[in-house]
Amino acid sequence: MSDGRLASRRFLGVALTLGSIAASLLLTALIIIAVGASPLEVFDKIWQGIGMKPDGIDPGRFAGVVNFWIPLALASFGLVISFTAGLWNIGVEGQMMFGAIFASWVAREIFLPSVLLVPLELIAAAIGGALWGALAGVLKTRGGVHEIFGGVALNNLASIYAIYLIAGPWQPPEGGSLQSTAPFQEAALLQPVSSGFRVSLLALVLVAVAFVVVAVALRGTRWGLELKALGKSPRSALLLGVATDRNAVLAIAACGAFAGLGGAFRVLFTYGSMRPLVSGGIGFLGLLVVLLTGTRTIWVPFVSFFFAAILAGSTRLKIALQLDQSLAGVVQGILVLMVILANGVRGRMQGQVITRLPEQTPTGAQPQSEEAASG
Amino acid sequence: MDELARILGSIVSNATPLVIASIGETITERVGVVNLSLDGSIALAAMVGFVTAYLSGNALLGLLAGTVIGMLIALLIVVANIELKQDQVAVGFVLTLLAADLAQFLGQDYTRIPGPTFPTVPIPVLADVPFLGQIFFRHNLLVYFSFVLLFGTWFVMYRTRYGLALRAVGERPATAFARGTNVNRTRYFYTAVGGAMVGLAGASYALAIKPGWANPPVMRGDGWIALAIVIFGGWHPFRVAFGAYLFAGLRALASTIQQQTDLPLVLVNAVPWVLMILTLLLVSGGFVERLIRVAPGPVQRVLRNFLRSEPPAALGAEFSRE
Amino acid sequence: MSIEVRHIHKSFGPVHANNDISLKFDDGRIYGILGENGAGKSTLMKILSGFYLPDSGEIFVDGKPVHYTDPQGAIEAGIGMLQQDPLDIGPFTVLENFVYGRPDGALPDWQAAREQLQQLSARFHFDLNPDVTIERLSIGQRQQLEIIRLLALGVRVLILDEPTTGISALQKSVLFGSLKRLAKEDGLTVLFVSHKLEDVLELCDEVAVLRLGRLVGQAKLPVTTDELVAMMFGQELAPPSHEKVAPGDVVLEVRDLTVASHRVTVEGLNLQIRAGEVVGLAGLDGSGQELLMRASVGLLKPLKGRVLINGQDMTGRPFRAFLEAGVGFGAAGRLEEGLVSGLTLTEHFALVDPEQRAWIDWERARAVTEERINHYNIYGRPDSPIETLSGGNQQRVLMALMPSSPHILVLEHPTRGLDVESARWIWEQILARRSEGTAVLFTSADLDEIMTYSDRILVFYAGQVTEVTEPESTTVEELGHLIGGQGIRKEAAA
């Protein structure tokens, strides 16, 4: 390809990206006007919500962004793995929930010094998320239930189970709230850096480690290469000697482990207790992140940080402007949609197809199992 | 007997949005397009339908608005797929989340208020047929519409030349092209029709079955159920409708049992999702085949035809001429 | 109806598939269109029948220029084509399939269509039940349906693309009989595309020969085989020489094997294959041969019986275990089965390299890939995505990915869709391994290929197996009868 064409491609790419962001802002503004509010005021409140003040940054509010970013980034790293394997792990939300449940169980039932208890909670959370993920994987490989449907059902079951625990077995004998368990013991919680900047250093380290682990696993290991082959063509991967069923289950389970850690962070730091909606849509948001980044791990921290900022900024809309905070989801959804459409426009203008998403269709009768591959 | 008829009648009524939505999705998937956005589309159509009806005081106008919403969302998916070569599932998933959040955001000032609804209109003569009249003919217009939709869809699909083209496009687009069918135009048309039905289903919650708008929406999750019912129903209108009624029946049964015993409510909430997994396990590949092989030879083929659920072969695939 | 093409050109990317072709076909005659794979026969026929648009050139019907842009338009102009894999709809019934595409109103007249279908099948002695779904038909029956469908639409020029691949001898003689009647009694123009000389010699009145996109010869029959061969290839290519290898130990054994698909069951099969043996499996698609192949490599679980590799019981083990036990498997599809679109050559070779364990040594992977590229004459670079390679090169990569000295090679249709030279190369590779003691088990729809290379032949018909132990003393005709089921009955009677 000549330099000139390369440059014009770059230009087209940048122009379309900027265009899709502008279109998203415009659409969002129209929607805000539709409910009778002022877009400028809303954007201003979101900007303040993430801690941006004329005279500097408010560390307390900025910490809010970081605290959304941590579980979101963890879940997104996990989803990079399952996307690489060609799996639509919608069950990530439930996997976060089960991570939170397992961590809560340890936090409630086991009494140890913090240095031992916290790692134990994190391990339990990873196991919980991985098990719930593996269940979706087994339903797919053994039962032919597409992971989208298995995932949606398991998400709801996880949420129902959490509500049951909070309202039932985990109620204090004297009775308590249906919205939350009693606060966990102090030793069970992750500790903030300072009371002014409430961010857990341990959690930040966890995110960094997760990033390295996922990036290295996908680029440098045989397992990563096997997942890549599986994601692009399950049948061919099988014939090249890849254990397709086992790897599909492992990929979802690995995603579940990371999501479970995210769930643990929510109960051990954000709330300090178990809540019914503990994952709060962060898992789904992770799916949007990965729709934008594809399997390029390097982009995940940035995109997820941006989404976390929107999420954190919107939490104040209710108080400040009496606007529902679902606006965050609207902004994020429109943005991802516009970027996907812009991708398509670019492909059309360049006469090529850009696909980096799993290419299967969610139908129940589409087993990927080794046995059925003989068809 | 009367009590039974009343219960069955309420199941028929409660199942109506599910029947309409899952038949709509059946139409869409039969031309090879997956509209994954059902759970969001239904919520947004319900909200828009309710608000339109509330502001105009006209339930029919609300229904129309909801229908248009469903159609637009479906069209967005198929345009992104055909013109822009984007993955149907990816676009559908984003729209699921986006539509649900839009419904919540735009509808925030309209929750838990009364608005216009579709009244019950007993059908003369038929409504007085003992037992059956109570079950089928003392409902609102939307319930009757679902009957018409069911038989109409079956008739068009299996008895007309349009139905041949519809099924061919989802099964083997190259053949459809060779027989003179415009594949992409057919996909646009039936995806729009299917999406319109999904929207109509959404509006029918807000205007008839569970009137009003709430946050979180009362029908949350039903979109996913409808998608699963399409698979359970093997992409055949009658089996799909059977699945929807069966599901509504089991849900009613579970809540009756819960009311009469002291089983925890969470169990009832879990029923739809457990059912979803179990039914998909039943119709997907391995299990059925193992079951069928136990049966005696001649029965096997009948069982297989009844239980197996083969998706349209070109579902999700793009078509280009060369 | 006579048709004529003048100066037809058609290119696909860099490939000039049709290069200035002019031909005329008169009514009442049967024309053979000959040429090896890739000669441009199918492209020309698809242009005639409206599937492709020519880049330039004109088509005349009865001397008048015609312009159509799709198959429907071609049919309206009187030209219909039967594709190699008939374009029908699997879940439709025969009747629905017959009706679909007719210019009826909204409600087709099902009864009239049914009567017409039955009349036409009776006239040509076709065996078609209107209420059976297409999925249950053989390729031969699907061709029959397609022919009468086109006739019912009033087609006057009938094009058939390689119709004798994958049908039985009996179906072939029924087909040839009806084509002759259509030409002589009804005055249709029949264009018969084939790469099989004997079929053309048996059926046609005239032949046109294409090579590398150009028309290289025309002749009225009778002509000699040698003349046709000279036109098709320039010179004749002999199959690679191969001597029998003395059979060694048993490498693959199946005992009392029962395997089944939805369509067919193979019951109680016993088979032993020894090192250095080549065993060919003949049969129509779906007769059970693919079940044996897939059961032999662990891709299909037997309902009963055992599979042994080198005397070791492998029943129920996964495919990977078979690979490790020294089984090489080549599937019928290329990109669909065996190659991963989106992965580079290096990534493919890294995947099958047993030395690549937990961590991938990319330098080693690259070196291995370069070595394979040179050794197998692959046109591509280590970092080329596999889908950018041509079909022949993909086939070479598949060969290169197989273990270098397996105990047994199990190959589905190893040369399907390849031109003569590539097919020859593939067999050279297979035979080279065989001479080192590898056993070979393969299927093919091309009976000549099976006859040429097999030491033993197993013929499958509806799950029944007949063994032909001495291919030298059998003929293609006899095999053709066996795959159509005649002969099995004879045996059963005896």
Instruction: Evaluate the CA torsion angle C21, C22, C23, C24 in order and state its sign.
Output: positive
What's the pLDDT tens digit per position in B185-195?
999 999 999 99
> What is the total count of domains within chain A?
2
A215 and A127 housed in the same domain: yes
Chain C partners of B172 at a C-beta cutoff of 8 Å?
87-90
- pLDDT on residue C192: 96
A365 touches chain C (CB under 8 A): no
**Which amino acid would we find at residue B58?**
N
Q: Is C328 helix (H, G, I), strand (E, B) or coil?
A: strand
CB contact under 8 A, A237 and C320: no
Residue A371 lies inside a defined structural domain of this protein: no
Evaluate whether residue B76 is within a structural domain.
Answer: yes
Contacts by C414-421, CB closer than 8 A, 24 or more apart? C414/C330, C414/C442, C414/C444, C415/C444, C415/C446, C415/C449, C416/C332, C416/C444, C416/C445, C417/C37, C417/C391, C418/C37, C418/C391, C418/C392, C419/C36, C419/C37, C419/C38, C419/C392, C420/C36, C420/C37, C420/C233, C420/C237, C421/C237
**Do C22 and C59 form a contact (C-beta atoms < 8 A)?**
no
**Mean pLDDT on C288-300:** 93
* pLDDT of the residue at B243: 95
Structural domain boundaries enclosing B108: 2-218
CA angle A99, A101, A107 (to 5 degrees): 100
Q: Does pLDDT of C114 surpass 90? A: yes
Which residues on B lie below 8 Å from C12 (Cβ)? 322
Question: What are the C-alpha distances in Å from C310 to residues A1, C258, C352, C406?
Answer: 53, 20, 22, 11
Chain A residue numbers touching C302 (CB-CB < 8 A): none
Q: Using an 8 Å Cβ cutoff, are B53 and B264 in contact?
A: no
In this prediction, residue A368 carries a pLDDT of 35
Residue holding tokens 């279908």?
C117
Instruction: Give the range among A96-110, C55-69, C457-471 with minimum mean pLDDT.
Output: C457-471
Is A269 in the same domain as A286? yes
Task: Assess contact for B253 and B246: CB atoms under 8 A.
Answer: no
- Looking at the structure, do residues A245 and A295 belong to the same domain, yes or no? yes
- Helices within chain A (DSSP H only): 3-34, 39-49, 59-84, 92-109, 114-143, 147-167, 201-220, 222-232, 234-239, 244-265, 282-293, 300-314, 317-321, 327-350
Q: Would you say residue B233 lies in a domain?
A: no
Segment B44-59 shows an average pLDDT of 97
Domain hosting A214: range is 57-324
| Domains: count for chain B | 1
A-chain CB neighbours of C350 within 8 Å are 222, 225
C372 in a domain, yes or no?
Answer: no
CATH number for the domain harbouring residue A107: 1.10.3470
Is residue A43 one of the residues assigned to a domain? no
CA closest to A359 among chain C residues:
C341
State whether C71 and B175 contact (CB < 8 Å).
Answer: no
What average pLDDT does range C282-288 have in this prediction? 86
Judged against a pLDDT cut of 90, whether residue C234 lies above it is answered with no
Residues A9 and A71 in one domain: no
Supply C278's token pair.
């080549």
Same domain as C229, residue C255: no
Is the domain of A199 the same as that of A87?
yes
- Residue A32: inside a domain, yes or no? yes
The whole-angstrom separation of Cα A355 and Cα B24 is 28
Residues A255 and A131 in one domain: yes
CA dist B276 → B29, B226, B250 (Å)? 19, 10, 12
DSSP-assigned beta bridge partners for residue C56: C9
pTM: 0.92
Residue C358 to residue A242, Cβ atoms within 8 A? no
**Residue A316 lies inside a defined structural domain of this protein:** yes
pLDDT-above-90 percentage for chain C = 59
DSSP conformational letter for B220:
T
The reply to whether C81 touches chain A by the CB within 8 Å rule is no
Tell whether A27 and A110 lie within a shared domain: no
Do A350 and A293 lie in a common domain? no
Q: Are B222 and B45 in contact (CB under 8 A)?
A: no
- The answer to the question of residue A287 being in a domain is yes
What's the pLDDT tens digit per position in C193-224? 987 788 898 999 999 999 888 999 898 988 88
Q: Does C316 touch chain A (CB under 8 A)?
A: no
Residue that finishes a domain, picked among C233, C262, C279: C233
Helix (H) or strand (E) holding C61: strand C56-61
Which pair of structure tokens corresponds to residue A101? 């449940």
Q: Is residue A285 domain-shared with residue A346, that is, in the same domain?
A: no
Give domain status of residue B276, yes or no.
Answer: no
Measured CA to CA in angstroms, residue B75 lies from A71, B144, C79 at distances of 34, 27, 37
- The encoded tokens of residue B181 equal 């069918």
- The pLDDT assigned to A351 comes to 65
% of chain C exceeding 70 in pLDDT: 96
Average pLDDT over residues C90-97: 94
**How many structural domains are present in chain C?**
2
For residue A374, tell me if it sits in a domain.
no
Confidence band for C333, pLDDT divided at 50, 70 and 90: low
Subunits next to B (3 or more Cβ pairs <8 Å) are A, C
* Phi and psi torsions of C102, nearest 5°: -75, 145
pLDDT (0 to 100) of residue A178: 82
Same-domain check for residues C130 and C155: yes
Are C87 and B172 in contact (CB < 8 Å)?
yes
**Which among C300, C341, C359 is the nearest to A220, CB-wise?**
C359
B165 touches chain C (CB under 8 A): yes
Select from C207, C233, C259 the last residue of a domain.
C233
Task: Indicate whether A342 belongs to any domain.
Answer: yes
Is the predicted pLDDT of residue C313 greater than 80, yes or no?
Answer: yes
| Residue B136 maps to a domain | yes
Of A220, A235, A243, the CB nearest to C337: A235
CATH for C150: 3.40.50.300
Tokens of B314: 């070109």
Do C308 and C414 lie in a common domain? yes
ipTM of the complex: 0.93
- Please indicate, yes or no, whether residues C204 and C256 belong to a single structural domain of this protein: no
- Partners of A236 on chain C (C-beta within 8 Å) are 335-340
In a domain, B55, yes or no: yes
> Domain of C56?
3-233
Q: Which of C300, C319, C360 sits opposite A221 (nearest CB)?
A: C360
Query: Do A107 and A20 have their domain in common?
Result: no
User: Under an 8 A CB cutoff, do B105 and A324 touch?
Assistant: yes
Kindly state whether residue B245 falls inside one of the protein's structural domains.
Answer: no
Same domain, C441 and C486: yes
pLDDT for res A371: 37
Q: H or E element: which one contains A375?
A: none
Give the integer Cα–Cα distance in Å for C35 and C420: 10
Over the stretch B109-122, which tens digit does the pLDDT of each residue have? 999 999 999 999 99
Give the ranges where C376-456 is alpha helix by DSSP (H): 391-401, 420-435, 447-453
Partner-chain contact C319 A237, CB within 8 Å:
no
Residue A375 lies in a domain: no
Say yes or no: A215 contacts chain C, CB-CB below 8 A: no
CA C465, CA C473: separation in Å to the nearest integer? 19
Which A residues in the span 234-293 are in contact with C, Cβ-Cβ below 8 Å? 235-243
Residue A15 sits in the same domain as residue A159: no
Instruction: Outline where chain B has alpha helix (H).
Output: 2-30, 38-56, 59-82, 88-106, 132-136, 141-159, 161-171, 173-178, 183-204, 222-232, 237-260, 265-283, 286-294, 297-307
State how far the Cα of A372 lies from the Cα of B322, in Å rounded to an integer. 30
pLDDT, residue C390, reads: 77
The alpha carbon of residue A345 and the mean position of all alpha carbons in its chain are separated, in whole angstroms, by 27
- CA dist B238 and B23 (Å) reads 9
Q: Is residue C450 part of a domain?
A: yes
C176 touches chain B (CB under 8 A): no
- How close is the nearest chain A Cα to the Cα of B266, in Å? 6
**Which residues of chain B neighbour C99 with C-beta distances below 8 Å?**
161, 164
Tokens of C484: 């159509």
Residue-wise pLDDT for C354-389, tens only, equals 888 899 999 999 999 999 999 988 888 999 999 888
Residue B317 lies in a domain: no
Buried b (16+ CB within 10 A) or exposed e, A349-361: eeeeeebbbbbbb
Does residue B164 lie in a domain region?
Answer: yes
Final residue in a domain of this structure, among A324, A351, A369: A324
What residues of B are in contact with residue C96 (Cβ under 8 Å)? Answer: 164
Residues of chain B contacting residue A326, judged by C-beta atoms under 8 Å apart: 101, 104-105, 108
Residues A163 and A311 grouped into a single domain: yes
Positions in chain A whose pLDDT score sits under 70: 1-5, 351-375
> Do the domain assignments include residue C91?
yes
- pLDDT tops 80 at residue C293: yes
Contact status of A326 with chain B (Cβ, < 8 Å): yes
pLDDT at C284: 84
CB contact under 8 A, B164 and C99: yes
**Which residues pair with residue C259 across a beta bridge?**
C266
Contact C320 A240 (CB under 8 A): no
